[in-house]
Structure 1
């Protein structure tokens, strides 16, 4: 009987202790959207997913809200002050000082000091309510339009599901007008530098709600690349992103180009090129069967594409032909830019690394 009582008391104590631990955990829990990114000497070696230039400064974003910047072409890095610890996916600076970064939980960050400090402009806790209000107003104005109630319902689902919808890319034309894009056709536009955002789900030819993986301008056109062969192009007269048919039905991870030429790239080494605004496409022979995950147009006007395995493909002037350039080390690449002195600065699962300017120049000239 005493043994039974002892066991019972031990069990009761265990239950009480478990409850107290749960209460303590709940009390200690802070949402990543409210938890500032921790400063860490190891941040430069942590996974990074996006990279860009802000004037001569190089900026990269990555896991746990890490944003790093370098003023010496990627040789040394400083960690920025960031108000969230959500994983970040992409970053852009349309000017030398004004920039935006996006990431998981629908977070949108803004910097006005070339990436040294950041403020939160939007997050996933607000996006659903934005959709509900915007499309409810349109439904009242156009009660016979069947599209609006469906989009109101979509916004309500986002509210109920919480702030877990990732934003995958961001692009700004200047310090006022820009877009953020993400999963399940999530897209918003701002015309006041992020002070307010307008849902754009009704402005995309994406009825199946495919993920929007990347948004970029070629100088004469604005494109969105997505999954299952989805490619959208901004139509100024229609004021919407219209579907551009492509011969590949796999996912695209990026788009880049110059006036008169556009390349889209994605799964299994696939790259498509068009010189007529997307009316016709040519599949390039990359010789690779690994996903291409980053790209840039360098200072010489050459295209450079990078894979998740660390390979680099380089064009010569146009994107008509690309050749593989041997790399000293093969580490996954998720983001890339070129520094002011010509170095290639790469972001990936092992942090940031650089290729010397002379190596970048030589690679562009190799046959």
Structure 2
């Protein structure tokens, strides 16, 4: 009986080894696996949405990117070379766009979001950081910061590809930033062909997560966890620290020249009209995290929560809760060419009247 049991164990072990080998030979990294076409993609979790001229483009899980040329009535799936979750999308012009997501992925489109190619992934980022700061450390051996950041690059190499980007923003066809977890921040000056680490230029010694970038027309802001609040100083080429009115996580930035709003955990919204030097809280009346915002053509701020609440702020006024017949979680928001609100979240894409 013992011999039979041993034989069965050996046979089972051999079968599992064969299956494991077969599975290994069939495995394709999601960084190399194109996103699969799906009729349900428009109803799957989507995480951000942007305008590319009059076209709408949204990104989400499993590498899904969809576009609409009729104000969100119908959506088509774009060709995407990866299957990783995509967290952010931004267009610098109607044709030139970028998307970023998990595993350090940055994608680029030159045709308004119809097709995409990979510019960077997490398998390259560790060496990028290590080599950049090792060069600085060799030139300035007395500077301990360079050695520490070079060591951080070694850690990123050992860690592998798992380096999520959470947001990105481009000023034009050449200049942009991508930010993510643990103070991951890269800049490009050539449209994403090459990337420069900026870990030393974010005033973030604790390595806090960087969650969002926001341009108000006259300033670029960076926010993150534990009240991290920064503004880009073009002269000094760094993100300088601002005194934060809140110690919790911010999820977004929106504004216009002369005004900026930051929003985040537990319904917190703050407004500044002096470049982030002083802040006033706008009472949302909610304890739910605010996760998306858009500004309509009337100049009103439209903010949305992870539970789907809609808040509206008129010029210079407090936030007002807008009743809705139904609501669902919102992760991203923008306006259509017809001035309707296009919202994306865990249940896909939907639209609301801008009124």
> 1:155-189 deviations in whole A, cap 9, x for unaligned?
11000000001000010001110000000000000
In structure 1, distance between residues paired with 2:57 and 2:298: 21
In structure 2, distance between residues paired with 1:59 and 1:14: 50
Greater alpha carbon shift after TM alignment, 134-143 vs 28-37 = 134-143
- Report the alpha carbon displacement of residue 298 of structure 1 after superposing the two structures with TM: 1.2
- Number of paired residues? 355
For structure 1, list consecutive stretches of 5 or more residues without a partner in the other structure: 362-367
Q: 1:300, 1:317 within 8 Å by CA — same for their partners in 2? A: no
- Report the alpha carbon displacement of residue 253 of structure 1 after superposing the two structures with TM: 0.3
> 1:54-88 deviations in whole A, cap 9, x for unaligned?
00000000000000000111110000000000000
In structure 2, distance between residues paired with 1:5 and 1:251: 62
> 1:11-65 deviations in whole A, cap 9, x for unaligned?
1110101111111111111111000000000111110001000000000000000
Aligned to 2:273: 275
Aligned to 1:365: none
Aligned to 2:98: 100
Q: 1:256, 1:264 within 8 Å by CA — same for their partners in 2? A: yes
How do 1:148-167 residues align onto structure 2 when only pairs under 5 Å count? Answer: 148-167=146-165
Aligned to 2:38: 40
In structure 2, distance between residues paired with 1:294 and 1:183: 19
- Report the alpha carbon displacement of residue 237 of structure 1 after superposing the two structures with TM: 2.4
SS in 2 for 1:296: strand
- Report the alpha carbon displacement of residue 139 of structure 1 after superposing the two structures with TM: 1.1
Q: 2:329, 2:346 within 8 Å by CA — same for their partners in 1? A: yes
SS in 2 for 1:20: helix
**Equivalent position to 1:229, from 227, 230, 253:** 227
Aligned to 2:323: 326
- Report the alpha carbon displacement of residue 310 of structure 1 after superposing the two structures with TM: 0.3
Q: What is the TM-score of this pair, normalised by structure 2?
A: 0.99
Q: 2:182, 2:208 within 8 Å by CA — same for their partners in 1? A: yes
- Report the alpha carbon displacement of residue 4 of structure 1 after superposing the two structures with TM: 2.7
- Report the alpha carbon displacement of residue 207 of structure 1 after superposing the two structures with TM: 0.6
Stretches of 4+ aligned residues off by more than 6 angstroms: none
Q: Does 1:341 align with 2:338?
A: yes
Aligned to 1:353: 350
- Report the alpha carbon displacement of residue 5 of structure 1 after superposing the two structures with TM: 2.5
- Report the alpha carbon displacement of residue 152 of structure 1 after superposing the two structures with TM: 0.3
> 1:238-273 deviations in whole A, cap 9, x for unaligned?
221011111210000001100110000000000011
**Equivalent position to 1:15, from 10, 13, 21:** 13
**Equivalent position to 1:305, from 291, 303, 306:** 303
In structure 2, distance between residues paired with 1:32 and 1:157: 22
How do 1:179-218 residues align onto structure 2 when only pairs under 5 Å count? Answer: 179-218=177-216
Q: 1:229, 1:252 within 8 Å by CA — same for their partners in 2? A: yes
In structure 2, distance between residues paired with 1:103 and 1:182: 9
In structure 1, distance between residues paired with 2:235 and 2:35: 42
Aligned to 1:140: 138
Q: 2:296, 2:354 within 8 Å by CA — same for their partners in 1? A: no
Aligned to 1:50: 48
For structure 2, list consecutive stretches of 5 or more residues without a partner in the other structure: none
Aligned to 1:27: 25
Aligned to 2:66: 68
